[in-house]
Amino acid sequence: MEMKTIKGPAVFLAQFVDKKEPFNSLDGMCQWASNLGYKGIQIPTWELSLIDLDKAAESQTYCDELKGTINSYGLVITELSTHLQGQLVAVNPAYDLMFDNFAPNTVKNNPKERTQWAIDTLKKAAVASRRLGLNAHATFSGALLWHTWHPWPQRPKGLVEMGFKEISKRWLPILDVFDENGVDICYEVHPGEDIHDGDTFERFLAATGNHKRVNILYDPSHFVLQQLDYIQYIDHYHEFIKAFHVKDSEFNPTGKKGTFGGYNDWRDRAGRYRSPGDGQVDFKTIFSKLTEYGCDVWAVLEWECVIKSPEQGAREGVPFIKRHIIEATQKAFDDFAGAEVDKEQLKKILGI
List the chain domain ranges: 7-350
pTM given for the model: 0.95
What is the C-alpha separation between 352 and 338, in angstroms, rounded?
21
What is the C-alpha separation between 120 and 28, in angstroms, rounded?
30
Q: Is 327 left (phi over 0), alpha (psi -120 to 50) or beta?
A: beta
Residue 336 has pLDDT above 90, yes or no: no
> 340 falls in which pLDDT band (50, 70, 90)?
confident
The answer to whether residues 179 and 213 touch, using CB atoms and an 8 Å cutoff, is yes
* Burial annotation 283-306 (CB, 10 A radius, 16+ → b, else e): beebbebbbebebebbbbbbbbbb
Residue 316 has pLDDT above 70, yes or no: yes
* DSSP H or E stretch at residue 267: none
Mean pLDDT of 160-185: 98
What is the C-alpha separation between 29 and 22, in angstroms, rounded?
6
The answer to whether residues 136 and 80 touch, using CB atoms and an 8 Å cutoff, is no
> 331 falls in which pLDDT band (50, 70, 90)?
confident
Percent of the chain predicted with pLDDT > 70: 98
Residue 334 has pLDDT above 70, yes or no: no
DSSP 57: H
Q: Which CATH architecture has domain 7-350?
A: Alpha-Beta Barrel (3.20)
Mean pLDDT of 63-84: 98
Mean pLDDT of 252-281: 97
Residue 337 has pLDDT above 70, yes or no: no
Residue 229, pLDDT score? 98
Residue 292 has pLDDT above 80, yes or no: yes
Mean pLDDT of 22-48: 98
Q: What single-letter amino acid sits at 230?
A: Y
What is the C-alpha separation between 77 and 21, in angstroms, rounded?
21
Mean pLDDT of 118-142: 98
Residue 352, pLDDT score? 93
* Tally of CB atoms within 10 A around 197: 17
* DSSP H or E stretch at residue 94: none
Residue 1, pLDDT score? 78
Mean pLDDT of 186-208: 98
pLDDT in tens, 211-252: 999 999 999 999 999 999 999 999 999 999 999 999 999 999
Non-local CB neighbours of 238 within 8 Å, separated by 6+ positions: 289, 290, 293, 295
Mean pLDDT of 30-40: 98
What backbone torsions phi and psi does residue 251 show, to the nearest 5 degrees?
A: -130, 110
pLDDT in tens, 82-100: 999 999 999 999 999 999 9
> 5 falls in which pLDDT band (50, 70, 90)?
very high
What average pLDDT does the structure give for the chain?
96
